[in-house]
Amino acid sequence: MRVAVVTIFPEMFDALTEYGVTRRAFEKNIIEIKYFNPRDFTDDIHNSIDDRPYGGGPGMVMSPEPLKNAIVEAKQWINGKVKVIYLSPQGKLMKQSRIKALSEEENLIFLAGRYEGIDERIILNYVDYELSIGDYIVSGGELPAMVVLDAIIRYKPGVLGNDESVHQESFSEGIFDSPNYTRPEIFENIQVPKVLLSGDHKKIKDWRRAQAITKTKNTRPDLVRGHNNYQLS
Ligand code: 9D3
């Protein structure tokens, strides 16, 4: 999969490409990533990428022309089927099923905005999906793009070890993990639950499931099946 990122801060993506399991995915060329900086696609002497909003108001808006040029270059590099994703507070809420669908696309372009956002005509003419990572405000689209890309990478064959990837399936979606313990057996006067030391694998499995359900019901009742929960699309 080729991933093009349109951003004025490409160095931020080192957090993804230089660390942990995501780094391994780039090293193995499971994902190829390239950055397209709107700053490199400006026409004017000052390399302006933003301008004042028509109609007035606070802040600045990313100008359409440098963004368009960056997207066109990104498409040339990708040289195949591609979907363009714009990360925005106005987007559809990201969730695991959308991550999975995106992981099955051939190639992706991520558009990370700064300032108050981008000129609406870029969204109208170039964007396939407008996505948000949650109902809180961060300073730009780069961190959201990295969050979404990290989650996509975890679906790619060969990225997670076998032990980790079975966890991604069926049971793990829509329910919390059960609590984890490792040595020592007593830490700050708290004993590891005896059942985990019993060696009775059936009992351990049942206990873990019960713990997971109780914790999910208490913290996120909206996730528990049949618990006043209707499935949205
Ligand atoms: C909604 C707030 N806007 C009006 C006051 C200003 C504004 C703040 C921050 C506009 C854009 C941004 C930058 N945020 C993103 O680009 C962004 C984002 C987010 O802030 N929260 C959740 N998901 C996303 S995806 C992209």
140-175 tens-digit pLDDT: 999 999 999 999 999 999 999 988 876 665 556 689
Residue 70 CA, chain-centre distance (Å), reads 22
Can you give the residue range of the structural domain that contains 69? 2-153
Read off the CATH number of the domain in which 186 is found.
1.10.1270.20
Domain contains 217: yes
Regarding whether 182 and 113 lie in a shared domain, the answer is: no
Residue 145 CA: nearest ligand 1 atom is 25
Structure tokens at 139: 């300073």
Mean predicted lDDT score pLDDT of the chain: 94
- Supply the pTM of this predicted model: 0.95
Regarding whether 183 and 124 lie in a shared domain, the answer is: no
Regarding whether 142 and 203 lie in a shared domain, the answer is: no
User: Which residues in 46-185 belong to E strands, given as ranges?
Assistant: 50-51, 61-62, 83-93, 107-112, 129-132
For residue 130, the CA-to-ligand 1 centroid distance in Å is 12
pLDDT of residue 168: 64
Regarding whether 137 and 57 lie in a shared domain, the answer is: yes
Choosing from 137, 146, 149 the residue with most ligand 1 atoms within 8 A of its CB, the one to mutate for a pocket test is 137
Domain contains 199: yes
> Is 140's C-beta closer than 6 angstroms to any atom of ligand 1?
yes
The predicted-structure confidence for 28-57, as pLDDT tens digits, reads as follows 999 999 999 999 999 999 999 999 999 999
> Is 144's C-beta closer than 6 angstroms to any atom of ligand 1?
yes
CA pair distance 39, 76, nearest whole angstrom = 18
For residue 180, the CA-to-ligand 1 centroid distance in Å is 35
**Total tally of structural domains belonging to the chain:** 2
